[in-house]
Structure 1
Amino acid sequence: MSTHAHTKPATTIPPKGAWQKLGGPLGTSLHYGVLIFFLFLTFFIFALMISLSLRRSILIYLEFWSWPWPLYWDNYQTAMTDLIPSAIRTLVVTGVSILGILIISSLAAYAFARIQFPGREVLFYLVLSVMMIPGVILLTPHFILANDLNLRGSLWGLVIFYVAGGLPFGMFLITTFFRSQPAEIFEAARIDGASEWQSLIRIALPLAFPILVTVAIMNFVGIYSDFIWPSLMLPQDQQTIMLALEQYNPVSNEFSTRPDLGKQTAGYIVATLPQLIVFSVGMKYFIKGVTSGAVKA
């Protein structure tokens, strides 16, 4: 009787690729070095903008890299006077648009996630298919539609189309979050006598608060910084802040082609402040919403 020793076949370990060799202390140092470089570059650019905004333009062109002393605050006074009306108008349009997006997206997302009805999935993916259409392609039909509805020259012409444009992504993100929640929570609420409306208000929306903040911030950045649609819809006396910044661009003529860098950079900083404040306040919820909702999508 012969016995056979069962031996494991030899396995060949594939050679490490170039990216795998970057593991360990060397790779970690390299990754942190790249991050530190871009962090330094970002702070350098922002510090340079602040420095330019606190100097007279004639001194900037004479000594670009000199220290801003004495500080020249008139640039900010001019920028605030020029931009505050446009900034208020932009924030109103942005706030109303985001409120509409959140309300409609939440209602639709709850229906798609928790209510059974014929054709639910077909309708859901039909709505999501709009996300694949580039916004630039829709500019012409949207402009014709707004003109036919007499919405040109009105802030509602911005709000309505901003809400329509932000709904597909908001519905997608909130729906995926609602579907990721345990069904037992909503079933227990129904057993206790809660209606669908009460389940939405008292259970679904509080749980989805980070997702709602994520949707709000992402739409805030896009709506607040939009230039093309307001330039097509609004007259000269109802400019948004991005259109108002155009006044600081140089006008090419026989006298001058140079911009007023001091006022220009001060205007850019004033226009950027609302975005920095909104993102700083909602950053914790934004990160939590992206990691909890978008990853589960």
Structure 2
Amino acid sequence: MQRVQERVNEDFSNEKISRWTRKGAVRRSLSLGTVIQYALLFILIVFTFFVIVVMVSMSLRPSVLIYADFWHLIPWPITLSNYQASVFPLAMPLVRTLFETFASILGVLVLSCPMAYAFARITFPGRRLLFGMVLVVLMIPGIILLTPNFILANQLGLRGSLWGLIVYNIAGGLPLAIFLLTTFLRSQPEEMFFAARIDGASDIHILWYISIPLASSTLVTIGIMNFLGFYSDLIWPSLMLSQNNNTLMMALQQFNPVTNQFANRPDLGAQTAGYVVATIPQLIVFIIAMKYYIQGIMSSSVKA
């Protein structure tokens, strides 16, 4: 019995020493640089949520009270009149933006899958050269291409058409999508594709039944990244579309209601309500696909 008690005491002491060692290792691992990173991230998160709280609070308050006391963040009395004033003018631009965004994403995904598979799993002359050209296009800032793209759109008669905007969105989203998918497919075991070929599977079957299911997380990541870019784009739609065929960001820029109080100043309540309405689709998409977005980022970067 005494030996058992001694063994228990020894195990307890070893457990305490191990626990203290782990605590000491954790404390040592928290270097000054790590603490600064966490502090900066915390400040960024607080600032981001503060901006969101201010925006939502302003959207639920009458503009008279906003001008009277801007920093009163608790909305009381709550009013929904701001949303009534903003939803109807922004409804059609929102529908056009969602249609244009999802059509562009579909085009990017449909075209990038066979292209990436060809770069990753098919040997053909000029493969490295073509993939290098894709990387070169990816490195060029989009703002530099605005002028040549605008001239080309004029010559092709694509200006003023929503489909013309969709075509350019697809062309702009393809390089990054091809790069991410190619990197992912190259990281997969060669034996799996070799076994499929032995079983008689063609490249189309391998692409549809093996490559696309494996790359589902990467495809979701590409979809979300393009959704955020296409949905919030303002410069290129302003150059391509007319005011009667505007997108949501264009409509928000032009949405400038005024209030008769305070000498016809802008109606801040209705404006911020419009910003809240514009933010909701982005939040919904990101919340639904956040899990797959993180998986896709990890599979496309760490495995590379």
**What band does the TM-score fall into relative to the shorter chain?**
0.7 to 0.9
| Alignment correspondent of 1:92 | 99
CA contact (8 A) 1:248 1:259 kept: no
Structure 1 range deviating more: 275-284 or 33-42? 33-42
Deviates more, 1:208-217 or 1:134-143: 134-143
Structure 1 SS opposite 2:77? coil
CA positional deviation for 1:29: 5.5
Q: Does 1:180 align with 2:187?
A: yes
Kept after mapping to 1: 8 A contact 2:257/2:270: no
Aligned to 2:21: none
1:261-276 paired onto structure 2 within 5 Å: 261-276=268-283
> Greater share of helix residues, 1 or 2?
2
CA contact (8 A) 1:250 1:257 kept: no
Q: Which amino acid aligns with 2:275?
A: Y
Q: Which residue of 1 aligns with 2:130?
A: 123
Counterpart check, 1:51 vs 2:57: yes
Choose 21-30 or 108-117, whichever is displaced more.
21-30
**Aligned counterparts, 1:140-219, within 5 A:** 140-219=147-226
Match of 1:12?
none
- The amino acid of 2:155's aligned partner reads D
Partner of 2:287: 280
* Residue 186 to residue 75, structure 1, CA distance change in 2 (3 Å): same
- 1:208-287 alignment, distance < 5 Å: 208-249=215-256, 258-287=265-294
Q: Within 1, Cα distance between the matches of 2:270 and 2:170?
A: 33
Alpha-carbon distance, 1:144 to partner: 1.2
Q: How far apart, in 1, do the equivalents of 2:28 and 2:252 lie?
A: 45
Following TM superposition, by how much is the alpha carbon of 1:258 offset from its aligned partner in structure 2, in angstroms? 3.4
Aligned CA RMSD, in angstroms, stands at 2.0
Aligned equivalents of 1:283, 1:210: Cα separation in 2: 10
Task: Give the Cα separation in 2 of the matches to 1:138 and 1:177.
Answer: 28
Q: Is the 8 A contact 2:135 2:179 kept in 1?
A: yes
Task: State the identity %.
Answer: 58
**1:24 corresponds to which of 25, 30, 35:** 30
Unaligned runs of 5+ in 2: 1-26
Shift of 1:296: 2.7
Deviation at 1:143, TM superposition (A): 1.0
Partner of residue 112 from structure 2, selected from 98, 102, 105: 105
Structure 1 Cα separation of the partners of residues 37 and 114 of structure 2: 43
Segment drifting more, 182-191 vs 59-68:
59-68
Secondary structure of the equivalent of 2:237?
helix
1:74 aligns with 2:70: no
- 8 Å CA contact 1:166–1:219 kept in 2: the answer is yes
Partner of 1:42: 48
- Deviations 1:15-54 (Å, cap 9, x if unpaired)? xxxxxx9853876665544433332222222111111000
- Aligned mates of 1:249, 1:64 — CA distance in 2: 19
Q: Which residue number corresponds to residue 114 of structure 1?
A: 121
Q: Which runs of 5+ in 1 are unaligned?
A: 1-20
Q: Give the whole-Å Cα distance in 2 for the aligned partners of 1:213 and 1:188.
A: 27
For residue 65 of structure 1, report the CA deviation from its aligned partner.
Answer: 2.3
Q: Is the 8 A contact 1:248 1:263 kept in 2?
A: no
Match in the other structure for 2:13: none
Q: Is the 8 A contact 2:98 2:231 kept in 1?
A: yes
Displacement after TM superposition at 1:220 (Å): 0.7
Q: Tell me, in whole angstroms, the C-alpha distance in 2 between the residues paired with 1:246 and 1:35.
A: 31
Residues 58 and 268 in structure 2, CA contact (< 8 A), matched pair in contact too: yes
Aligned pair 1:138/2:145, yes or no? yes
Q: Check whether the contact 1:52–1:262 (CA below 8 A) recurs between aligned residues.
A: yes
Give me the whole-angstrom Cα distance separating, in 2, the residues matched to 1:184 and 1:150.
48
Moved more, 26-35 or 152-161: 26-35
CA contact (8 A) 2:257 2:271 kept: no
The worse-fitting range, judged by mean Cα deviation, of 175-184 and 76-85 is: 76-85
- The aligned residue for residue 69 of structure 2 is 63
